[in-house]
């Protein structure tokens, strides 16, 4: 798969904004003594709603709100993968905040691929 396309770069930029949003919620919840599983669930849920519009509109040029269900399914997969990876890293006594930061980019690759294939497959590359 070719990850150096303009679309992927846009995905990373939009994803960076989305990640700051979701990670901020995650950190806030951890500091409020939420268990990490609940913090991931809440931050992911808030992030999905925020991400759907930014990713669909700016990255894939698609404003079809009916795709939200496929988008949610992708993020359920991301959520489960995120929990699995966090559990593995925490078993090695890696700090929770560091562990979450370490898995951000690999999860972004998985998210991009799943969105490209399953949610927005009819995207047409627009010349910039």
Domain locations in the chain?
Answer: 6-119
Tell me which residue has tokens 């894939």: 60
What value does the mean pLDDT of the chain take? 87
Specify the higher pLDDT residue, 3 or 8. 8
CA 87 to CA 79: how far, in whole Å?
12
Query: What pTM was computed for the model?
Result: 0.73
What is the reported pLDDT for 2?
Answer: 53
């Amino acid at each position: 798969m070719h990850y150096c396309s303009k679309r992927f770069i846009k995905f990373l930029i939009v994803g960076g904004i989305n990640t700051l949003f979701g990670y901020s919620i995650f950190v806030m919840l951890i500091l409020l003594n939420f268990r990490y599983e609940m913090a991931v669930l809440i931050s992911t849920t808030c992030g999905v709603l925020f991400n759907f519009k930014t990713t669909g509109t700016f990255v894939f040029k698609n404003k079809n709100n009916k795709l939200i269900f496929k988008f949610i399914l992708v993020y359920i997969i991301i959520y489960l993968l995120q929990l699995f990876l966090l559990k593995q890293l925490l078993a090695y006594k890696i700090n929770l905040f560091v562990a979450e930061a370490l898995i951000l980019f690999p999860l972004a690759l998985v998210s991009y691929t799943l969105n490209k294939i399953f949610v927005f497959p009819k995207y047409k590359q627009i010349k910039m």
